[in-house]
Amino acid sequence: MLTSLPTLARWSRAIAALAGLTLLAGCDYNFWRMDGHQSTIVVDGPVARDQLHVFYVTCWVTLVIFILVGGVLAYATVKFKARSEADEHAEPPPQGHGNPLVELGLIGGSVLALVVIAIPTLNAIWTTHDVPEAQRANAYEITATGYQWWFRFEYASEQASVDANIKMPLVTGNELVIPAGRPVRIHLRTVDVIHSLWVPKLAGKVDMIPNRANFLWLQADKPGYFWGQCAEYCGDSHAVMRFRVIALGPREFNDWLDQQLQTARTVAPAPDSNRARPQFAALRSFRQNETGITAKFDVNPLEAWREKQAPEKDEDPALVAQGRALFSSKACITCHTVRGHVGAGISGPDLTHFGSRTMLAAGLLENNREQLRRWIKDPGAVKPGNKMAKGYVDNKIVISTEEEVALAAYLESLK
Ligand code: CUA
């Protein structure tokens, strides 16, 4: 019994350390609410809510067990503590081994605890496995494919224009736009290794496995902007294989679809297009953290996303035209598709409406001029091991500062 005292002391120290850490984290409101971009505690959809329910039931049951066992341990530790020299050599107190009442009670208690956990667990497995029967006809279907290290989203039911005669299913990259309040079934595929699709606030993770057709379903309660993350180790840049889910109301979702189904936007040359050379647009100043997210974008991302749908205010048509030419001559077209413009590569993300996305480099950087230039200049420095960096080396592509600015202007114009 005496040996449990140091154990108790160790526990107390651990709890004190945890409390200290909590204080260090400051009085952040979101910290205390356990909220954040990838919180599984403050959730926004029925699937995540069912999973959270199972988590809470398990937590409460284990808390009760902890209090009971810890209480008995503490009681025994104090009650049978050696208080004098004589106590230490005394006979042990009467032993209760083999008491049928206690043993049956413990077995019954354990079974009860398991049953209490099993009921909501089985229920959640049932409800989170697939869209509930009643809503199945209303489910929106999307196919998500994992690549090292980005996500491709295909809307098989939406036919997008390539030119006047040719259509292909709508494809986007790294930003999954879904209708809010409606179940979405996501078919999970991979072209290389195992990835896993995870949108913490909407649904738990399901793996994308080679040669295996998995799927998950999720639903957003209301319009919103959600963080997603690859949740299965998949190589160098696994930790920065991210994406976003944007949930929109029915009308806004339809407007978005209409916009996306169009071919890429072509910027008309300005009336004074014989201007000597394109002007370097003034660099916008912004507060930047290590991932390149502006404060405004952090505060209201859905509003920031909406703003991105409109053409940039300081667009320079001559610069855009120069960028478009470079997009072909620098071999970007071999990996990327820009429907309606030149470019039909499929090994990199579809860029037809790239300018309307809030993020680039698979949810790592904010899609603005500075970050875009940083990415174009040296993608390998941003995301180690990625194929674009390798393409630069293999094809001996070098991009000057001026070319970088023009390419960024072209990509930004693709709304
Ligand atoms: Cu893809 Cu980790």
Q: Is the minimum distance from the CB of 232 to ligand 1 under 6 angstroms?
A: yes
Give domain status of residue 288, yes or no: no
Q: Which atom of ligand 1 is nearest to the CA of 234?
A: 2
Q: Is the minimum distance from the CB of 198 to ligand 1 under 6 angstroms?
A: no
**Is residue 188 domain-shared with residue 124, that is, in the same domain?**
no
Name the least confident of 53-67, 160-174, 272-286, 334-348. 272-286
**Is residue 145 domain-shared with residue 227, that is, in the same domain?**
yes
Give domain status of residue 40, yes or no: yes
Residue 329: C-alpha distances to residues 103, 324, 340, 403, 411 (Å) = 79, 9, 17, 11, 15
Q: Are 287 and 371 in contact (CB under 8 A)?
A: no
**Is residue 383 domain-shared with residue 300, that is, in the same domain?**
yes
**Is residue 121 domain-shared with residue 143, that is, in the same domain?**
no
Which CATH number belongs to the domain containing residue 106 in this structure?
Answer: 1.10.287
Domain limits for position 75: 14-82+97-129
Our count of domains for the chain comes to: 3
What's the 381 CA to ligand 1 centre distance in angstroms? 18
Nearest C-alpha neighbor of 358 from the set 370, 371, 367:
367
CB count in 10 Å sphere of residue 321: 21
Token pair recorded at residue 39: 């919180």
pLDDT at 392 > cutoff 80? yes
Q: Is the minimum distance from the CB of 144 to ligand 1 under 6 angstroms?
A: no
pLDDT at 39 > cutoff 70? yes
Residue having the nearest C-alpha atom to atom 1 of ligand 1? 195
What's the 135 CA to ligand 1 centre distance in angstroms? 31
pLDDT at 190 > cutoff 70? yes
Name the least confident of 123-137, 288-302, 308-322. 288-302
**Is residue 306 domain-shared with residue 388, that is, in the same domain?**
yes
Name the least confident of 66-70, 141-145, 174-178, 318-322. 318-322
CB count in 10 Å sphere of residue 292: 21
Q: Is the minimum distance from the CB of 228 to ligand 1 under 6 angstroms?
A: no
**Is residue 163 domain-shared with residue 115, that is, in the same domain?**
no
Q: Is the minimum distance from the CB of 147 to ligand 1 under 6 angstroms?
A: no
Give the span between the Cα atoms of 217 and 298, in whole angstroms: 27
- Give pLDDT, residue 289: 36
Q: Which atom of ligand 1 is nearest to the CA of 195?
A: 1
pLDDT, mean of residues 148-162: 93
DSSP 97: T
Residue 386's H or E segment, with its range, is: none
Q: What φ, ψ does residue 335 adopt, rounded to 5°?
A: -115, -20
Name the least confident of 18-32, 128-142, 348-362. 18-32
**287 or 256: which leads in pLDDT:** 256
**Is residue 48 domain-shared with residue 65, that is, in the same domain?**
yes
**Is residue 308 domain-shared with residue 328, that is, in the same domain?**
yes
Q: Which atom of ligand 1 is nearest to the CA of 193?
A: 1
Q: Is the minimum distance from the CB of 408 to ligand 1 under 6 angstroms?
A: no
- Give pLDDT, residue 83: 83
pLDDT tens per residue, range 345-373: 889 999 999 999 999 998 888 898 889 99
Q: Which atom of ligand 1 is nearest to the CA of 232?
A: 2
Rounded to two decimals, the pTM is 0.82
Give domain status of residue 274, yes or no: no
Q: Is the minimum distance from the CB of 154 to ligand 1 under 6 angstroms?
A: no
- Give pLDDT, residue 296: 63
- Give pLDDT, residue 23: 57
CA atoms within 13 A on the CB side of 127: 18
Q: Which atom of ligand 1 is nearest to the CA of 149?
A: 1
Q: How confident is the model at residue 29 (pLDDT cuts 50, 70, 90)?
A: low
Q: Are 282 and 314 in contact (CB under 8 A)?
A: yes
Nearest C-alpha neighbor of 161 from the set 282, 345, 337:
337
Phi/psi-derived region of residue 26, left when phi > 0, alpha when psi is between -120 and 50, beta in every other case: left
**Is residue 236 domain-shared with residue 336, that is, in the same domain?**
no
Token pair recorded at residue 312: 């940039």
**Is residue 223 domain-shared with residue 329, that is, in the same domain?**
no
Which CATH number belongs to the domain containing residue 205 in this structure?
Answer: 2.60.40.420
Q: How confident is the model at residue 326 (pLDDT cuts 50, 70, 90)?
A: very high
First to last CA, the chain: 71
pLDDT, mean of residues 90-109: 84
- Give pLDDT, residue 8: 54
- Give pLDDT, residue 99: 82
Of the three residues 235, 260, 285, the one that is the final residue of a domain is: 260
Give domain status of residue 272, yes or no: no
**Is residue 113 domain-shared with residue 183, that is, in the same domain?**
no
Q: Is the minimum distance from the CB of 188 to ligand 1 under 6 angstroms?
A: no
Task: For residue 98, give the amino acid letter.
Answer: G
Give domain status of residue 54, yes or no: yes
Token pair recorded at residue 264: 């890429």
Q: Is the minimum distance from the CB of 403 to ligand 1 under 6 angstroms?
A: no
What's the 384 CA to ligand 1 centre distance in angstroms? 13
**Is residue 144 domain-shared with residue 108, that is, in the same domain?**
no
